[in-house]
């Protein structure tokens, strides 16, 4: 039974290779940002069990999640489930949230060692630098990334929240200096956040870097729980969002957003699924995408998302959603490039 240490083989989920050189990962990854906050340890362990039983293989955490609580909870789950470590890939991140946080190798070494201790493991399958900073160049972490793979502390390395040019540069420097390949980038991407399509996703594809998506449900906006011009229910993520966050009501209560949600509802209804499931299926099948990262506050929310792991909407539905959510193209350089690409001198 879930929670009892049972490691019985569960269902199989479609897998994809993470980048050109990374491991095979399940179509949906599982994000643990809520662990130690909205989600207590018992519920967190139940969710991890449910994810593995559904065939999921990639569990993503970070040192900043719950100020280390998420890593500890995942670590205790691993310890209580004999044999499960061999069936899952553990990914964590470092860069934010602690005194002296920066992109310097010295800080990142300390962050990784602390993360390994909280997880109770000697090695993670994927270590991701959680973001750049404005004082240190990406060049500075090449040696660090090579060092942690050589030392056996990480099997693979990736980044999160980097610009496209930074991903391209880091991948090139690692290759030139004989380091490990950069196998992944983790970025925010959804029907409501598609600006990464202009540079970040193509940069990853060109460099052989897989793309993991966080926020594929638009921080809750794509679940169907919110209604046009009706304030969000008390206790929901949007209701609690601060003004500065992208999911804040005043930022997304717009005609453009509601138009996307209306099309999403229509597509979901036609396929007999929820809006959230349709949004996840669309995201998972976008060009250049390896896997969306699904997160949840409750087991029920997670199970609803996992039910979409085998869902493919088809070309017509995906096209409807893509056209409805296509953002306005900045005139330069992207608008100009679109015009040039389609101009043949007539």
CA distance 104 to 170: 15
DSSP annotation of 69 reads H
Name the nearest CA neighbour of 282 among 247, 258, 317, 327: 317
- Closest CA relative to residue 215, chosen from 193, 184, 241: 193
CA atoms within 13 A on the CB side of 145: 29
Give the residue from 12, 80, 31, 60 showing the smallest Cα distance to 297. Answer: 31
Tokens of 86: 């061999």
| DSSP 3-state of 265 | helix
How far apart (Å, rounded) are the C-alpha atoms in residues 56 and 176? 34
Supply φ then ψ for residue 254, to 5 degrees.
-130, 160
Alpha carbons 322 and 61: distance in angstroms, whole number? 29
Strands 15-17, 24-26: pairing is antiparallel
Catalytic annotation, pick one of 51, 65, 189, 226: 65
| 127 annotated active-site | no
* Residues known to be catalytic: 65
């Amino acid at each position: 039974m879930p929670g009892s240490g049972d490691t019985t083989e569960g269902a199989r989920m479609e897998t994809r290779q993470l980048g050109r050189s990374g491991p095979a990962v399940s179509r949906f990854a599982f994000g643990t940002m809520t662990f130690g906050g909205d989600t207590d340890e018992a519920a967190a362990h139940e969710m991890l069990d449910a994810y593995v039983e559904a065939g999921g293989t990639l569990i993503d955490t970070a040192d900043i999640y719950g100020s280390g609580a998420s890593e500890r909870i995942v670590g205790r789950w691993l310890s209580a489930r004999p044999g499960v470590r061999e069936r899952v890939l553990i990914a964590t991140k470092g860069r934010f949230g602690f005194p002296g946080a920066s992109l310097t190798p010295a800080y990142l070494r300390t962050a990784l060692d602390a993360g390994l201790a909280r997880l109770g493991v000697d090695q993670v399958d994927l270590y991701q630098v959680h973001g750049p900073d404005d004082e240190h160049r990406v060049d500075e972490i090449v040696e660090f990334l090579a060092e942690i793979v050589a030392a056996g502390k990480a099997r693979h390395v990736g980044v999160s929240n980097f610009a496209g040019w930074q991903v391209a540069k880091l991948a090139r420097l690692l290759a030139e200096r004989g380091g490990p390949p950069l196998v992944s980038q983790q970025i925010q991407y959804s029907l409501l956040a598609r600006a990464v399509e202009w540079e970040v996703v193509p940069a990853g594809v060109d460099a052989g870097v897989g793309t993991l998506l966080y926020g594929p449900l638009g921080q809750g906006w794509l679940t169907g729980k919110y209604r046009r011009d009706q304030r969000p229910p008390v206790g929901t993520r949007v209701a609690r969002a601060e003004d500065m966050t992208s999911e804040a009501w005043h930022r997304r209560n717009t005609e453009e957003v509601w138009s996307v949600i209306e099309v999403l509802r229509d597509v979901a209804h036609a396929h007999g699924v929820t809006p959230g499931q349709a949004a996840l299926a669309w995201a998972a099948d976008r060009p250049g995408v390896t896997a969306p990262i699904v997160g949840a506050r409750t087991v029920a929310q997670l199970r609803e998302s996992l039910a979409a792991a085998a869902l493919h909407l088809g070309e017509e539905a995906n096209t409807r959603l893509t056209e409805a959510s296509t953002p306005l193209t900045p005139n330069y350089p992207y608008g100009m490039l679109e015009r040039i690409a389609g101009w043949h001198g007539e």
